[in-house]
Chains A and B, each alone.
Chain A
Amino acid sequence: MIDFAFFVEIIPTLLSGLPLTLQLAGSSIAIGFVLALLLALARQGNHWMLVRPIRSFVAVFRGTPLLVQIFLIYYGLGQFRPSLQAAGLWWLFREPYWCAIIALSLNTAAYGSEILRGAIQAVPRGLIEAASALGMSRFLTLRLVVLPLALRQAIPSYSNEIILMIKGTSLASIITLMEVTGIAQGLISQTYRAVEVFVAAGAIYLTINFTIISALNALETWLTPYRVRA
């Protein structure tokens, strides 16, 4: 019933898209994390000039589908080539690769900033007061007290976000990038064996995600040794 020979045949082809999938996911998770952290910190300041635009940015990117964002950034902005060229940005928006990374990074930055904001707020007030009583500067408090605690607290929620991003890269096939899902679609058009191809591709994503979850769980355990039961 199950044709193992066929799986053996298609898996190497599908894996040839893995580097692109991992590149897209890796770059956008990294860029998105830096942006998310900056946004979360900027919102701590409570200045309306900073808070309002950030809140709108977060609301827009969390309130619309990633697919719309990718299409808008790729095909939508493609219409404005003269203006983008004048601004010296066309080289960036010309390439589907960069458009995908921009869309994925902005999307994960919006979700990530909310996760990090919650985690920063969850740092006990007393610890921050203690730091200032010790004469630590705001920056030093942030670096030595607030961020280490907040980042550790954010790991479980942030690992969900990372999984969502890995899954999100599958949408890049829609703007001509041949990552794992794109290659899977190509294979189907050649073999017309949709079920087998999608099962194989699904197994690849599951493996990536399972590895990431295990790694992040291990990281969390390592960072919170006192919570481990004897």
Chain B
Amino acid sequence: MKVCRLAAVAAALSMLGFMHTALAEDAPKAITIATEGAYAPWNFTNADGKLDGLEIELANDLCARMKIKCTIIAQDWDGLIPSLKVGKFDVIMAGMFITAKRLETIDFTQPYAIDPGGFAVAKDSELGKLGVSTEKFKLDDEAASKAAIDKLKPLLKGKVVGVQAATTMLEFLKKYFGDTVEIREYKTTEQHDLDLAAGRIDAIFAQKTALAATLAKPEFSGFTLAGPGFVGGLFGAGTGAGLRKEDTKLKEMLNDAISAAIADGTIKRISEKWVKTDVTPVK
């Protein structure tokens, strides 16, 4: 009798659409991957509501390699890690950097991309006149990166800089430019793009590939990437797939799939298609 009732409750729960996710120890047969769906060209939503972008194509490729069924869903950026922890989905692929701070809470695969953070500003601003630079500074190399940051500081003094909330980009700005600029936090990168175009803010700080995609649009013809890019340090090892610490088997499978996708040039091909540069992590 009691068993019957339990079964009925379980059936009712599953009918209501509650999701049971895979047990930690077994090799999963089906997983749910979450992305933000508002971070073009890494991941974004089309007019018909479909998710698309570099990470969507890569996720499908990795799943095919692992021979498991994947469902990809969109989730608000701030909700990604809390929701992963409570089990709403199994993997995060949302342009998320593998940082020491995040590693305290969740685990990551090896990086599948490395893409520096940089500024976008109006072409006629002081920083804008510096123009595009392909220089990359490793924050771990304190002397070199400090010199680069000190060169930028006077050009940004008192400016308002938009950045996505709860990101490593925000951490970076707070740590290195907190005393120089006024920081404004946005829910999505699309929103700070809108405000840069509207002239409410003087600059945005984001991943360079995402900025390049924004600046390619006609409304942004007056804006440019400026200054060098920054990697390493608090930006961590690059962009990886986030997962729960106990899902060790899944981590192993994803790492193998990523290694294979790096080795056969798939990541190079996909990233050149979506972000126009090769973001393959170099060992």
Measured between beta carbons, the chain A residues less than 8 angstroms from B85 are 192
B85 to chain A, nearest CB (A): 7
Query: Using a CB-CB cutoff of 8 Å, which residues 155-212 of chain A contact chain B?
Result: 174, 176, 178, 182, 185-186, 188-190, 192, 194
Taking A186-B165, A186-B166 as contacts, is the C-beta distance between A81 and B198 under 8 angstroms? Answer: yes
Bound CA span A194–B105, Å: 13
In the complex, are the beta carbons of B199 and A192 less than 8 A apart? no
A118 at the interface (CB under 8 A from B): no
Asked if B276 is at the interface (CB within 8 A of a chain A CB), the reply is no
**B187 interface residue (CB < 8 Å to A):** yes
Interface size on B, residues (CB 8 A): 19
Does residue B52 face the partner (Cβ distance < 8 Å to A)? no
A94 contacts across to B, CB distance below 8 A: 199-200
| A192 in complex: contacting residue of B82, B162, B200, CB < 8 Å | B82
Interface check A75, CB cutoff 8 A: yes
Minimum Cβ distance to chain B for residue A93 (Å): 9
* B86 closest partner in A (C-beta): A194
**Chain B's nearest CB lies how many Å from the CB of A202?**
17
Q: Annotate B80-109 by CB proximity to A: 1 below 8 A, 0 otherwise.
A: 011001000000000000000100010000
Do A185 and B200 form a contact, CB below 8 Å, given A176-B186, A192-B81, A194-B82?
A: no
With known contacts A185-B165, A192-B82, A78–B200 Cβ distance under 8 A: yes
CA of A185 to CA of B187 in the docked complex: distance in angstroms? 10
CB contacts (< 8 Å) of B194 on chain A: these are 75, 78
The verdict on A137 contacting chain B, using a C-beta distance below 8 Å, is no
**Chain B residue, CB-CB nearest to A99:** B200
Across the interface, do B199 and A75 meet the contact criterion of CB distance under 8 Å?
no
Interchain CB contact (< 8 A) of B166 among A96, A174, A176, A189: A189
A186 touches B185 (CB 8 A): yes
Q: Which of A79, A189, A190 has the most CB of B within 10 A?
A: A189
Question: Would you mind naming 30 contact pairs between A and B with Cβ atoms under 8 Å apart?
Answer: A75-B191, A75-B194, A75-B195, A75-B198, A78-B194, A78-B195, A78-B198, A78-B200, A94-B199, A94-B200, A95-B200, A96-B184, A96-B200, A174-B187, A176-B162, A176-B184, A176-B185, A176-B186, A178-B185, A185-B165, A185-B166, A186-B166, A186-B185, A188-B78, A188-B82, A189-B78, A189-B165, A189-B166, A190-B101, A194-B82
A residues touching B (Cβ–Cβ < 8 Å)?
75, 78-79, 81, 94-96, 174, 176, 178, 182, 185-186, 188-190, 192, 194
